[in-house]
Structure 1
Amino acid sequence: MPPFPRLPAVALLLAGLAPLLAGCSPEAAPPETPPRVVASHVIQADGNGAVTRLSGRVKAAERTALSFEIPGEIQSLSVDVGDTFAAGDTLASLDDARYRLVAQQRRAERREAEASLAEKRQDYRRQASLADKGYVSDTRLDTARAALDTAESRHASAQAAVALAERDLRLTTLTAPYAGSVSQRQAEPAERVAANQTVLEVISDREGFEVETSVPETLVGALVEGNIHEVRLPALGDASSPATLRRLGTQPRSSNDYPVILAVDEPPAGLRSGMTARVALSLPAADGAAGLPIPLTALVYDGEDSAHVLRIDDDHRLERVDVEVLRLEEGRARVRGALAPGERIVARGAEFVDAGQAVSLLGEGPERYH
């Protein structure tokens, strides 16, 4: 039998180790798919209440229509719409010539009454002295007493007439009751105005602003004075402020709408009377089961009457939660299901991920670029 050819020792060694090395080499694993980045929303409790959104208008909390209490011709009107003033400033005045003459006449009548009173008082004293001595009758003394009473009455009347004339003279000047600004001007210089005819409408700087709106009769019973709501001002970049319900009207306007006044608790800079406002009234649920508010974009509809959301657990994995859609509101839905305040759900794009999938939260952890 022919001898086997000799192999080099190194070759024999490699041949023997080949099966062993092959058994110890793991198969190459596929690369792990990174978690999908999703936008999330934390469910907030809002007292299980509904939010009713209404339109309203901003007004100064303290406003007044100013007028003269007496008629006359306007001599000066020193302010116009938008002008500001301090308390006690002169805003307008009437021609006071007639009122000065009347005051002078009443003062003259008072001096005449004072002279007559002094005379009657002296005559009565003389008659009383003579009556004590028996020189005059009681009848004559009674006559002197009656004349003195008449003189005293005329003097009191003359004093009152002077006071009224001087008051009218002072009323020819219209002064500011408080610091504020002019919202409307309804008269002009040289114009003749009647007593109590509005000349200026002014607003105060000291009491802030309020929003006036109206609610249907079905909501009146759910509102409580002193409760906090929210107002937004579109003209100021949709700035918002808490607003306290100050007054609820007792008489309806047209269509059974009742007026509601809310005080703007934190007026944003630039707020002016007359601006439009959007009012969000937070109302308690009548049945205590108004559900929880979530973004509309978090809903995934499974059919005409069913929907679900994807909850994010502590391990950042998704769980499907079936919900009942109770009501659609502005930009959000109110739902009922196995959800609780403080839980996190997928806010957008829930239809592109699945239950059980691991996710990464947008804005948390390192950014991924694809």
Structure 2
Amino acid sequence: MMAGRIMSGRKIPRRLCASVAALGASLLLAACGQETEAEAPAPRPVRVVTVEKGQGGQPVTFTGQVQAQDEAALAFRVPGRMIERSAHVGDQVKAGQIVARLDPQNALNTLRSARAAVAAAESQLVTVANTFDRQERLLANGFTTQANHDAARTALQAAQSGLDDAEAQLKIAEDNVGYTDLVVDASGTVTARGAEPGEVVQAGQMILQIARKGGRDAVFDVPANILRAAPADLAITVALSDDPNVTATGRVREVAPQADPVTRTFRVRVGLDNPPEAMRLGSTVVGRGRIANDPVIEIPASALTAVNSEPAVWVVDPASQTVALRNVQVASFSPANVGVASGLTAGEVVVSAGVQALHPGQKVRLLGAGS
């Protein structure tokens, strides 16, 4: 007890106080260093792209089919019962080939009647002509009247007109006999049929649809807004839907003047340049093109974010390796790419992946830069 009082009454040496103070300062500095290290996290790794101006315009894609540039519907010019059709869908036909026939019996009967009418008209003309010749001689000798002579002249003119009419009817009858044969006027491929043997068909009724040899078209149904934006000489790349390696190029050859009443789209025919044989008639094709020509900056769709309900991107400062949020104006959008109308310049570095976890001024570590 006495020893404790004696010790409590003693003064603490100055060296001991200095040591304690130095130890406390060291512990305090160590704690501050730990806090500083905690407040400075490692740069966040991000993927980036270097933006460049590419081909401008909004890409458009449509699905259509291959058709012949020139198709013709073959039909009989006279009605009747079809007794034969020798061509079928898919057959190759040649110019001058007979592909269908009507029963010619009625046409042949009409032809025989017309020939008989011509023979009767010729006989009548001979009789009337002889009568007129006699009246001519009698009038010259004063043995007949002018009235009889005029009547003979009128009868002669009527007989001549009757013969002309009979000969015209004979020509019509001969043509109608020929029209009972359906003849191909140009080589091509049969794409459709409209009647079967045994049916009674009307004049002008489609019997066979012929795709004539020559060029081929890719046919698409296009909305009006795309037509308004597309240039007049728009180049189209056409590929088979089941084999994209089979391609051809072409340009718009014909645009329907009126929209389809149901779909409100316009039928557009694209003339194909040297289409490969694999692009058969009726094949399903995909056409691609661009409806504008001004160069634009394209960035991956994953790079786009938003701030204040406006589209924006994270731009990397190459000197400080920090990011800043910048608003951009979007010109076009597709599942893969975004066309930027303004807000970026060529050569700038934009974050393409990891945009959700960034904040302004944050240091980043670049994982990849490409154009």
Deviation at 1:268, TM superposition (A): 2.6
Change (3 A) 1:268 1:307: farther
Task: Normalising by structure 2, report the TM-score.
Answer: 0.70
Residue of structure 2 in register with 1:292 after alignment: 297
Q: Which residue of 2 aligns with 1:219?
A: 226
Aligned to 1:328: 333
Structure 1 residue 64 displacement after superposition:
1.7
Which residues in structure 2 correspond to 1:61-100 (within 5 Å)?
61-100=69-108
CA distance in 1, matches of 2:274, 2:69: 13
Determine if contact 1:52/1:281 at 8 Å carries over to the other structure: yes
Q: Does structure 2 conserve the Cα–Cα contact (< 8 Å) formed by 1:225 and 1:247?
A: no
1:114 to 122, 129, 132: 122
1:107-130 deviations in whole A, cap 9, x for unaligned?
A: 121111112112222321221222
The answer to whether the 8 A contact 1:52-1:280 is kept is yes
Q: Within the alignment, does 1:269 sit opposite 2:277 as a pair? A: yes
What are the ranges of 5 or more consecutive residues in structure 1 without an aligned counterpart? 1-37, 311-317, 362-370
User: TM-score, structure 1 length as denominator?
Assistant: 0.70
Q: Deviations over 1:155-197 (max 9, x none)?
A: 0110110011011100001011211111112222222222222
Asked whether the equivalents of residues 309 and 323 of structure 1 are also in contact (C-alpha less than 8 Å), the reply is: no
Asked if structure 1 preserves the Cα contact closer than 8 Å seen for 2:124 and 2:159, the reply is yes
Unaligned regions of 5+ residues in structure 2, if any?
A: 1-46, 356-363
Q: What SS does the aligned partner of 1:236 have?
A: coil
State the 1:345 CA deviation.
Answer: 9.2
The equivalent residue for 1:203 is: 211
Decide whether the 8 Å contact of 1:323 with 1:335 is kept in 2. no
Following superposition, the deviation at residue 213 of structure 1 comes to 1.6
User: Relative to structure 2, which stretch is displaced further, 252-261 or 130-139?
Assistant: 252-261
Which residue, 313, 322, 326 being the options, matches 1:307? 313
Distance change >3 Å, CA 257–CA 233, structure 1 → 2 = same
Following superposition, the deviation at residue 330 of structure 1 comes to 5.0
Matched, 1:135 2:143: yes
Cα RMSD (Å): 3.8
Whichever residue aligns with residue 340 of structure 2, its letter is V
Question: In structure 2, what residue type is equivalent to 1:167?
Answer: D
CA deviation vs aligned residue, 1:241-277 (integer Å, no higher than 9, x gap): 2221122222222253232222222323221222222
Aligned twin of 1:31 = none
**Separation in structure 2 between the aligned mates of residue 135 and residue 344 of structure 1, nearest angstrom:** 120
Q: Give the match for residue 18 of structure 1.
A: none
Match of 1:249 among 249, 256, 261: 256
Alignment coverage as a number of residue pairs: 308
Alignment of 1:26-41 (within 5 A): none
When Rg is computed on C-alpha atoms for both structures, the one with the higher figure is 2
| Structure 2 CA distance for aligned equivalents of residues 74 and 306 of structure 1 | 71
The 8 Å contact of residues 70 and 168 in structure 1, kept in 2 or not, is answered as: yes
Q: CA deviation at 1:138?
A: 0.8
2:99, 2:183 within 8 Å by CA — same for their partners in 1?
Answer: yes
1:211–1:309: structure 2 CA closer, same or farther, 3 Å change rule? farther
- Three-state SS of the structure 1 residue aligned to 2:229 is coil
Question: What is the aligned-residue identity percentage?
Answer: 24
After superposition, what is the alpha-carbon deviation per residue over 1:300-346, rounded to whole angstroms, capped at 9, x for unaligned? 45766433689xxxxxxx9x998945432254332346555xx8999
- 128-137 or 248-257, larger mean C-alpha shift: 248-257
SS at match of 1:202: strand
**What is the letter of the counterpart of residue 187 of structure 1?**
A
How many Å separate the matches in 2 of 1:277 and 1:309?
40
Query: Does structure 1 residue 240 correspond to structure 2 residue 253?
Result: no
